Amino acid sequence: MTCGQRMRSEFRLKLFGLTTHNHRNVFTRTPWLSNRLPFLLYRAAVCLYQVICNFTIHTALGEFQPLILIYLTEWAYFLLTLHTVVSAALCFADYYDSRSQRGPTSQENLSSDVVMTTGSTTTGGETTQTSVGQDSAQSLQIPWHYKLYWVLYNVAFSGGIFITIVFWLLLRNDFTEGSILTHAMNSVTIVMDVMVSGLPCRLLHFVHISTAGVVYILFTVVYWAAGGTGLDGQPYIYPFLDYGGNPVLAAIVAVLAVVVAIPLCHCIVFALVVARESLIGVVQRRQSDNSQSVDVTAL
């Protein structure tokens, strides 16, 4: 499928939903390896890293102030941490469930939008190249908790990218260890996770993160109306969301953020997924060509 065909296929009404992907394995496995143990260890390591960072930010780096929970950065970082915890749990469950059903030594293909396995298998002294292709072992609709995880992934990843871009473009007034972790390393974690996992992405799922954006905007309005203040005592959370002092600017920023900026950040995640799939396709074709060359030489 060419890039143009892929883009056209994304603009279908049914893709607003969460029933357009029939392989739950894409959420718990990597398309790069047939051996799932390395990806399981990766999920566990990222989860541990994210939880430790979250704990460190709120305790070891200073006294915890509940008021910081009003900031969008806190919301986004909590969702990213929650994503790593849930993804690790689902990955562990899938790994041990498959081992209990098929045995610890069974060979299984992976499933993804584009699936590629690498390496070779040695059996009885003979080496056999692993296959490259799609797996249709699980063609049932994904369970409801996987659908919720898909929404969490869309919101956490697009929201994390949004936080990084907004901070480095508009704020840039805090270069503490906690700020680096929440405004820079968060996106490093997101990009790395997209590239090594098999997580799918639908362009029209920007509605998930846009809905989350609307929820936060409504929260800031209610918080301001109730007389809430920021950490510096000002009657707003962010200076560009000063509903009392500059309501026109606040309204413009809120609308542009929800309608333009947040969907564009989701497009960035979508572009990363397409890049991953394209890279997998290139490696897949090279492996296929090499395999054909070996067969021709043998003849």
Q: Per residue in 76-94, pLDDT tens? A: 999 999 999 999 999 999 9
Give the closest residue to 68 by CA, choosing from 58, 83, 79. 58
Which of the residue ranges 137-151, 207-221, 232-246 would you say has the lowest mean pLDDT? 137-151
- Any domain includes 243: yes
Give the closest residue to 19 by CA, choosing from 177, 187, 184, 202. 202
DSSP per-residue codes, 44-104: HHHHHHHHHHHHIIIIITS---GGGGGSHHHHHHHHHHHHHHHHHHHHHHHHHHHHHHH-T
CA distance 171 to 167: 5
- Any domain includes 68: yes
pLDDT at 20 over 80: no
At position 221, the amino acid (one-letter code) is: V
Burial of 206 (0-12, 13-18, 19+ CB in 10 A): buried
Which of the residue ranges 43-52, 249-258, 289-298 would you say has the lowest mean pLDDT? 289-298
Buried b (16+ CB within 10 A) or exposed e, 72-92: bbbbbbebbbbbbbbbbbbbe
- The whole-number pLDDT of residue 115 equals 44
CA distance 82 to 152: 8
- Residues whose CB is less than 8 angstroms from the CB of residue 276 and which lie 6 or more positions away in sequence, other chains included: 31, 194, 195
Phi-psi region of 233 (alpha: psi -120 to 50; beta: other; left: phi over 0): left
At position 165, the amino acid (one-letter code) is: I
Query: In angstroms, how far is CA 297 from the centroid of its own chain?
Result: 43
Domain count along the chain: 1
- DSSP structure class, residue 122: E
Beta partners for residue 129, in sequence order: 120
H helices, E strands: number in the chain:
9, 2
Instruction: Tell me the two tokens of residue 1.
Output: 């499928």
- The whole-number pLDDT of residue 63 equals 60
Would you say 140 and 22 are in contact if contact means Cβ atoms under 8 Å apart?
yes
Would you say 267 and 203 are in contact if contact means Cβ atoms under 8 Å apart?
yes
Q: Which domain holds residue 68?
A: 28-117+141-287
pLDDT at 236 over 80: yes
Would you place residue 294 in the very low, low, confident or very high pLDDT band (cuts 50, 70, 90)?
low
- The whole-number pLDDT of residue 297 equals 57
Residue 245's CB: how many other CB atoms inside 10 A?
A: 11
- Any domain includes 88: yes
- Any domain includes 11: no
pLDDT at 132 over 60: no
Q: What is the pLDDT of residues 142-183, one digit of tens each?
A: 888 999 999 999 999 999 999 999 998 876 666 777 788 899
- Any domain includes 242: yes
- Any domain includes 296: no
- Any domain includes 45: yes
**Around 71, how many Cα atoms within 13 Å sit in the side-chain half-sphere?**
18
Would you say 195 and 252 are in contact if contact means Cβ atoms under 8 Å apart?
no
- The whole-number pLDDT of residue 114 equals 39
